[in-house]
Amino acid sequence: MKKGIIFDVDGVLVDSMPYHASAWVKAFETVGINVREDEIYEIEGSNHVGVINLIFEKAGRVPDTEMYEDLLQKKRSHFMKNNKSLVFENMQECLGNLKSHYKLAVASGADRTIVTSLMDKFYPDIFDVIVSGQDVKHGKPDPEPYLKAADMLGLDARDCLVVENAPLGVISAKSAGMYCVVVPTYLAPEKLQEADLLLEDHSALVDYLNKLAASESSIE
């Protein structure tokens, strides 16, 4: 019986990745690197350090130390100015149901300002723990984000279920020893085969989570 559920944010709770991808494209342009939005989708879930390292490596370059904070600030600024993200249908009601039965957390690769702004706007007073990309030394696919969330919830990793939508996040969750449910929001399902359970879409995800809450209610 699981005691906690840990959610990725972008692409799971909020349809926000298009704005993240666009913001990263604009940020990298300022240092002479042209990157496509689909390249950002492929590394979704990594924190800003991981994204910068991966993109620079692909470009055959090494970032200067000061570039990490500078690019993060530029990316954040573009995102906050242009963000028109919306929640996925029925997710708010679903999370309200789950809160009565589970400890809830989010573990996102995005920076703290963006994560808290999205949670405050769309899911106020829902989550017991919020872990952002700035709260960990090693972002996804390292297990640290999910292990940190479990620890902050006061739970063993084996007692946590993870909801993801990206390959790096699935690897992170599985490396942490957690059961991982995935929904293919932006990428093809075949890129997410390492998850324990692959759901078709957000409608199926909401049904799955509501059934979990209902099963807990029947036990009580």
Over the stretch 161-190, which tens digit does the pLDDT of each residue have?
A: 999 999 999 999 999 999 999 999 999 999
Over the stretch 41-55, which tens digit does the pLDDT of each residue have?
A: 999 999 999 999 999
N-terminal to C-terminal alpha carbon distance within the chain: 13
Q: What is the mean pLDDT of the chain?
A: 95
Is residue 119 scored above 80 in pLDDT?
yes
Q: Tell me what pLDDT residue 217 has.
A: 64
Q: Where are any strands of DSSP class E within 25-154?
A: 86-87, 103-107, 129-131
What is the distance between the alpha carbons of residues 8 and 17, in angstroms, rounded to a whole number? 12
Over the stretch 2-49, which tens digit does the pLDDT of each residue have?
A: 999 999 999 999 999 999 999 999 999 999 999 999 999 999 999 999
Over the stretch 69-79, which tens digit does the pLDDT of each residue have?
A: 999 999 999 99
Instruction: Give the residue numbers marked as catalytic.
Output: 8
Inter-CA distances, 22 with 66, 76, 110, 186, Å: 22, 11, 14, 14
Question: What per-residue string of b and e applies to 57-82 under the rule 16 or more CB within 10 Å gives b?
Answer: eeeeeebeeebeebbbebbbebbeee
Mean pLDDT value across residues 87-105: 96
Q: Tell me what pLDDT residue 110 has.
A: 94
In this structure, of 100-109, 142-151, 211-220, the range with the lowest mean pLDDT score is: 211-220
Which domains are present in the chain?
4-16+85-219 (3.40.50.1000), 17-82 (1.10.150.240)
Is residue 218 scored above 80 in pLDDT?
no
Is residue 216 scored above 90 in pLDDT?
no
Q: Tell me what pLDDT residue 89 has.
A: 96
Contacts of 3 (CB under 8 A, 6+ apart): 102, 103, 155, 159, 160
